[in-house]
Structure 1
Amino acid sequence: MKGFAMPASAQMQSESYKIQSDALSANGDIITSAGYKLNFTTGEIATGKGTGTNYNIHAGYQRMQPGTITLSAPSDVIFSAGLGGVTGGQREDTILWTVTTDAAGGYELYVKASTNPALQCASGGCSVGGDTIANYTEASAGVPDYTWSIATTAAEFGFTPEGADVFSKYLDNGLACNTDSGETSSRCWYGFTTSNEKVTSSGTPNHPTGTATTVRLRVESGTAHITPGGSYQATITATAIAL
């Protein structure tokens, strides 16, 4: 019986880093003169491109392929019905972003508002530059609320992300958020700020299909709060980063 020794390779990584491409090179050196400085590496043996019916191999010292990332551009969201300015009421809608990346380290998706508060009077009977609807306030600052709740004397606007790659802060155990691995629809509410807030995260590439994230928006005016009539507008920016 004959045995064969086969070389093995793997991607080097730890909790704090991941090396996308590596090479076992023969040697390297630095050559300098009055007009140039050259850092060079002598590549591995058996280099080149090998192909077959079911494979392509780029062997040896190769130039790394930089990761690419795309983010979809959804349409504007318009709440389907008006909000009772005197009687109070609640409205909800969703916006969807899809991130597609071939980056070895995956991606992160962030959202932020352009103003504080996010939802401000744009036109109509309300005062432009004066009337606003407050950002949602969590019971414990920095931790999403499992159940949406505002005071009857308040009017607030908030969000919750939903999808396959939702950031751990927005996961739940059926009772509370920022714990366990559950992803329950219409739970874990948070308020927008003008700083980037991470809503989804993945450590692996998802090209070519991509991954969709739904951001559920909700606005409510309490029964003991008077919200001046008019059109209110929020500009929310989503940013996707390849890792």
Structure 2
Amino acid sequence: MTQSNTLRTFAAGLALAFSAPAAFAATTPAAFTATYQVSQGGQAIGEAVVTLKPAGDGQWEYSNQTKGTSGLAAALGANSNETTRFRWNNNAPETVSYDYRMDAAIKSKQRHTNVNWTTNQVTVDEGKGPMNYASVPGLVDRNTAPYAIGLALRAGKQSVSLPVAVKRNVETQTFKVAGKDTVKVPAGSFQAERVERSDDTKAFSAWYAPQKYPVPVKLAQSDGGNLTLELVSYKNGN
């Protein structure tokens, strides 16, 4: 595992590559804090804390802060912060803005995404000049994806085709429930639904207990570094 691969996979945190369209969710937002252990190759390297809270003006803030606590991630000072503001539209989140920043001793990276729902335009800027493309209804960025897919599963969906805001365009991604497994994580043992991406060859699995939590209890991504996230604790409210 190279230093660049370690940084890339660690900084990914909970940025799952899927989201849910407006028709899937049937609930309203509820604030929470979820804490995860981040491991690589079976060794704990960090912690991720995901929070959802009201942001005023009918919007919500969904943040994911990932910090290296041991191993190479700690030695390199690898930390990432992702913050999304979304509006609640047709019983589902729609991204208004998304900010990503990764800092480490040898490199840093940032991205700002803004969605203008009046003009239906997405603007993405990584510090080298903005890129623009058209938005679509139900658009969700990668940061809010864990929450959005959890709501879809809670509503009984078994497969979804999803509009995801990426760097240069809206990318349609497809996911399905591939089975049910017993999953043991620091937060406990769960009968979980295993979600896999079906339109891409990347090795990716996420386990949900959707009637209990709207975010995954476990995420495993072997592409790029065997990164695993396991739920440690979940708390309702701010």
Q: Report the TM range for the smaller structure's normalisation.
A: under 0.3
Structure showing greater radius of gyration is 1
Larger helix proportion, structure 1 or 2? 2
After TM superposition, the score normalised by the length of structure 1 is: 0.23
State the structure with bigger RCO (CA 8 A, min sep 6), 1 or 2.
Answer: 1
After TM superposition, the score normalised by the length of structure 2 is: 0.23
Larger strand proportion, structure 1 or 2? 2
